[in-house]
Structure 1
Amino acid sequence: MTLFRLTGCIAAIINSFNHFKSLNIMVTTAQPTTTNTFVDTYQEVTNAVIKILEEGTIIWQCPWNQAGLPKNITSDVNYRGWNLFLLNFHTMIKGYPTPYYITYKQANHLKGSIKKGEKGVRIIYWAEVELKNQQADATTQQPADKTDKPKKIMVPKTYTVFNIAQTEGIEFPYFEVGTPSEREKIANCEIVVDNMPNRPTIRKNGTSAYYQPSTDTVVVPSLKRCKSSEAYYSTLFHELAHSTGHVSRLNRKELLSDDGFGSTAYAKEELTAEMTAAFLSAVTGIAQSTIDNSAAYIESWLKALRNDKTLVIKAAAQAQKTADYILSVEYETA
């Protein structure tokens, strides 16, 4: 598949978010720190998201910066998963012209520095941790020559990055902002849909939008019945995201759950689909459509977040995996 240029969605209307200007989202001062203090990253992220949702803002539905997706400026690699949404939101509420970030050490390496008083934002990386105090199963006989290996798990940890607008003494290249035409946006969307591997059956004559796992069918209203082309494709992306949970694709257990609306599994699956649609909307240059009955969804997510502190990070990771599957490409990570 030929990759098209990554573009942002419609221009962010920063003024409507002025009341968030003073909001601190997992921020740290511009000082390199080393600490052994335990930090519950899951809980920290969840607390921040709950606070934002309670204000009525859905962080993964915020408009994307026209300069492109958030990326590390020194490696030129896009951030992924939860970091993608957090840094896009951070860029917007602070009014930065680009969503490009750098670490304290990287700024120093470029013979520059972080401006005095500036605060960075903590993003996630996954670290391998060895479990301690493991006990052998006394009921299971182990081979005499077997060497027990400690069990290792992946846990989220954080490090701090700063937007390049927070630096000084570094001359960054000029970043051209390109806005695709309506025709280019539609062409981009069609490329994504046409190139999805093992694509489900798509019916474009429905009275509502849904994915039916039993028949592996995505149903969406016809384009002429939608508010706009962008709303049509955003909805289609959402339902295609659900379809990746099918056993023939990513076999996602949340899709097959029958717990119903309001359950943690339902909230996680909807969140995964929403984040996937948001990412695909950013890639193709369209504006993501808003959720019908968003208040009910927000309340559902708040309930689920309070019951499961891992929900946001894990749903974002699933969304990234889902988007990668639909796009049939592999990305470097940042």
Structure 2
Amino acid sequence: MARSRTPKFDASEVITNEIIRIIERGVLPWRKPWTAGGSSRPLRVGGEPYQGVNNFLLTMRTVMAGHSSPFWMTLPQANALDAKVRKGEKSSVVVYYGQSRKDAGGEDDRSDGDDHSEEARIFRFQKSYRVFNACQIDGLPDSFFPDPEPVPEHAPSEPIPHMQAFFDAIDITTVFTGTEAYYLPPVDKVYMPSITRFQDPRNFYGVWAHELAHATKAPHRLNRDFGFSKFGNTSYAREEIVAELTSVFLGQTLGFTAHTLEMNAAYLHNWLRVLRSDKGAIFRHAADAQRACDYLIARSETGRAGRSAEAA
């Protein structure tokens, strides 16, 4: 008699289906303003912020569960701190990537050493593991539950100095005119409405981040190309996901949430069409977004350093 086999756990499929179910309810939880214990990003047990798709996933789960701590850890990490995960608490799946070298003889080597053999081939692999938020764990030190920082107040329709300085220093031309926001590749310019059209200035910076993310796809920047793009097709939808997540990641650093001038059924459908057809899409596009975020941060830092040098 043939033995029944338990289907192999597919982290990509599980995570993608989770996101699909959330979006089908018409919700984008990563757009909700939040901080947990003074941090706008989920943190590892040692305090390092998660990046890429894990940042996105744990941000979404923190918001939806209402966790007040930014810290996440594995069961062994909790046990090492003499703490216990409460009975019945559900873990969250996250992923990590590594690489494997296979030589001509077929031997698999996953060590970190150098292999100078011309016969060796490099393979990337994805694995998953499970983490719990500190709010799901009893017995942790108080340091895992920092006090929340006060939410700053901003005058309506007025620039927020540190955000304005960040964006002004990026060497991508932005023209402030009209009522629409978009990036125009033929002239390599971003077009934005004036901040005076935004009651909440944080939304202005969320939209600006979204459009600058599109500008990073230019060949002389990150050279990101999903093929011929027109409104509503898959290439367009993939680029929109990258821009959305770039705005999420930048907003965590600067203090705004992702925002677009339009958030309707068609926008949600863009996400769903891509995710339903490609279970690996969110992982690749979160990595694209992390690269775009890092690029914009680097360009802003370079621009501000140059201005400081000129003023000296």
TM-score, structure 1 normalization: 0.76
Gaps of 5+ in 2: 1-5, 107-116, 300-312
1:105 is aligned to: 76
Q: What is the CA-CA distance between 1:230 and the residue it aligns to?
A: 1.7
Of the three residues 23, 43, 46, the one matched with 2:13 is 43
Asked whether the 8 Å contact 1:60–1:275 carries over to 2, the reply is no
1:251 and 2:223 are equivalent in the alignment: yes
Question: Could you tell me how far apart the structure 2 residues matched to 1:229 and 1:242 are?
Answer: 21
Aligned counterparts, 1:191-230, within 5 A: 191-196=165-170, 199-230=171-202
Question: Could you tell me how far apart the structure 2 residues matched to 1:305 and 1:287 are?
Answer: 22
Question: Could you tell me how far apart the structure 1 residues matched to 2:255 and 2:237 are?
Answer: 26
Gaps of 5+ in 1: 1-35, 136-145, 330-334
Asked whether the 8 Å contact 1:65–1:88 carries over to 2, the reply is no
Aligned counterparts, 1:27-176, within 5 A: 38-66=8-36, 67-129=38-100, 147-149=118-120, 151-173=121-143, 175-176=146-147
1:234 is aligned to: 206
AA aligned to 2:71 is: Y
Question: Could you tell me how far apart the structure 2 residues matched to 1:133 and 1:274 are?
Answer: 43
> Aligned in 2, Cα 1:131/1:295: closer, same or farther, shift over 3 Å?
farther
AA aligned to 2:85 is: I
Question: Could you tell me how far apart the structure 1 residues matched to 2:105 and 2:274 are?
Answer: 31
Fraction of identical pairs, as percent: 33
Structure with the higher helix share, 1 or 2: 2
Bigger relative contact order (CA 8 A; separation at least 6) = 1
The secondary structure found in structure 2 opposite 1:239 is helix
AA aligned to 1:320 is: Q
Question: Could you tell me how far apart the structure 2 residues matched to 1:299 and 1:215 are?
Answer: 29
Aligned counterparts, 1:265-280, within 5 A: 265-280=235-250
AA aligned to 1:307 is: S
Question: Could you tell me how far apart the structure 2 residues matched to 1:49 and 1:73 are?
Answer: 22
Q: What is the CA-CA distance between 1:279 and the residue it aligns to?
A: 1.9
The secondary structure found in structure 1 opposite 2:230 is coil
| CA deviation map 1:32-83 (0-9, x unaligned) | xxxx974333222211111111111124323332532333353210011111
Taking only aligned residues, the RMSD between alpha carbons, in angstroms, comes to 2.7
AA aligned to 1:154 is: R
The secondary structure found in structure 2 opposite 1:64 is coil
Question: Could you tell me how far apart the structure 2 residues matched to 1:112 and 1:185 are?
Answer: 45
| CA deviation map 1:263-316 (0-9, x unaligned) | 222111101101111222222222433551421011122112222221111111
AA aligned to 1:314 is: R
Q: What is the CA-CA distance between 1:218 and the residue it aligns to?
A: 0.6
2:111 is aligned to: none
Question: Could you tell me how far apart the structure 2 residues matched to 1:94 and 1:82 are?
Answer: 18
Question: Could you tell me how far apart the structure 2 residues matched to 1:37 and 1:111 are?
Answer: 34
Asked whether the 8 Å contact 1:272–1:316 carries over to 2, the reply is yes
1:18 is aligned to: none
TM-score, structure 2 normalization: 0.81
1:186 is aligned to: 160
1:315 is aligned to: 285
Asked whether the 8 Å contact 1:205–1:219 carries over to 2, the reply is yes
| CA deviation map 1:232-252 (0-9, x unaligned) | 111111111111111121111
> Aligned in 2, Cα 1:207/1:242: closer, same or farther, shift over 3 Å?
same
